[in-house]
Amino acid sequence: MRVIGLTGGIGSGKSTVARLFAEQGVPVIDTDEIAHALSTPPSPALAQIAQTFGPEFLSEDGSLDRVRMRQHVYAEPTAKKKLEAIFHPRIKDTAIQMLDALPEQTPYAILAVPLLFETGNYNQIIDRSLIVDCSIELQIARVQARNGLSQHEIEAIIASQCPRKARIELADDIILNETTLAHLQSTVSALHQRYQD
């Protein structure tokens, strides 16, 4: 089974592309979903969050206070490394378990990793990398429409991710997502045929 690492900057359309592959019957393992599960109680990661950052970083229901943590991470550079040390090994282990559980005859699976190139954690797992790309202006517009974040917050997130030029150079395959959903669907269909061979 081949593993295709799917990535792209915030607002590029990774989730839409992942959904389109899933609609073709392709198994999609999304590390964002794994991270979300790990930040919802019960989870050993949350006990470590409280111990490392303080109980104020957990919500009343015991889940991760994402807004507070995001603000802290962007204000305090060392906080990001501490947070990643708690979550990244657990996310990777879970992703590997999910891949191992797929039927042997599966031609390929999509492993969606927002920070695929930044962490380097998945280099030994993936066979090819696929990025979803669009202009930075379009990224900002999409995230503002979706999340209501300020331009300054979005630019800070973009700056913390792998630069667009570097991502393009590292990618095996690129989907340019700047036009219509129909164009995106046809691009995914063509890649689906290729990946099955």
Q: Which of 47-56, 125-134, 137-146, 149-158 is predicted least confidently?
A: 149-158
Residue 191 — very low, low, confident or very high, per pLDDT cuts 50/70/90? very high
pLDDT confidence of residue 6:
98
End residue of a domain, out of 61, 91, 121: 91
Q: Tell me, yes or no, whether 140 and 48 share the same domain.
A: no
Contact assessment for residue 167 and residue 15, using Cβ atoms and an 8 Å cutoff: no
pLDDT digits (tens, 9 = 90+) for 167-188: 999 999 999 999 999 999 999 9
Strand order across the 128-133 sheet: 28-30, 108-112, 2-8, 128-133, 173-176
Domain span at 53: 32-91
Angle, to 10 degrees, between the axis of helix 151-160 and the axis of helix 66-75?
70
pLDDT confidence of residue 176:
95
Contact assessment for residue 149 and residue 143, using Cβ atoms and an 8 Å cutoff: yes
Residue 139 — very low, low, confident or very high, per pLDDT cuts 50/70/90? very high
DSSP codes of every residue in 59-128: -TTSSB-HHHHHHHHHH-HHHHHHHHHHHHHHHHHHHHHHHHTS-TT--EEEEE-TTHHHH-TTTTT-SE
SS3 177: coil
pLDDT confidence of residue 75:
84
Residue 156 — very low, low, confident or very high, per pLDDT cuts 50/70/90? confident
Burial of 191 by CB count in 10 Å (0-12 exposed, 13-18 middle, 19+ buried)? buried
pLDDT digits (tens, 9 = 90+) for 3-61: 999 999 999 999 999 999 999 999 999 999 999 999 999 889 999 999 999 999 999 99
| CATH number, position 111 | 3.40.50.300
pLDDT confidence of residue 197:
84
> Taking the model in full, what pTM does it have?
0.89
- The answer to whether residue 131 sits within a structural domain is yes
pLDDT digits (tens, 9 = 90+) for 75-133: 888 998 899 999 999 999 999 999 999 999 999 999 999 989 988 889 999 999 999 99
Burial of 169 by CB count in 10 Å (0-12 exposed, 13-18 middle, 19+ buried)? exposed
Detail the residues annotated as belonging to a binding site: 11-16
End residue of a domain, out of 50, 71, 91: 91
Q: Tell me, yes or no, whether 112 and 155 share the same domain.
A: yes
Q: Tell me, yes or no, whether 172 and 124 share the same domain.
A: yes
Contact assessment for residue 29 and residue 95, using Cβ atoms and an 8 Å cutoff: yes
Detail the residues annotated as belonging to a binding site for ATP: 11-16
Q: Tell me, yes or no, whether 82 and 171 share the same domain.
A: no
pLDDT confidence of residue 82:
93
